[in-house]
Amino acid sequence: MFKKFFTKMGFNTNKIVTGEAAKKKIENPSSTNLSEQEINFILSKLRQANYTGAEFEMFHNVWMKLSELK
């Protein structure tokens, strides 16, 4: 009953991973890494926006970190 309710409300009802499975998931997060194509897409979209003041600082920090991942 609760699982159906939470699913309907948009809550994530995945099981919690513990023990060795959690350790393996942390050591090999390959499924969460961005591909080079995805990084290039994000960088191109960031380039198109207009930034002011502190936003430009944040843009620059994000840009540098994503550029290093390529």
Give the pLDDT confidence score for residue 50 in this predicted structure.
93
Q: What is the mean pLDDT of each run of 10 residues along the chain (70 residues)?
A: 58 71 69 81 93 91 88
Alpha carbon distance 42, 62 (integer Å): 10
13, 6 contact by CB (below 8 A): yes
Compute the distance between CA of residue 13 and CA of residue 7 in angstroms, rounded to an integer. 7
Residue 27: domain span: 2-69
Is the Cα dihedral 5, 8, 11, 16 positive or negative? positive
Check residue 9 and give its pLDDT.
58
Domains in the chain: how many in total?
1
The pLDDT score that the predictor gives to residue 61 is 92
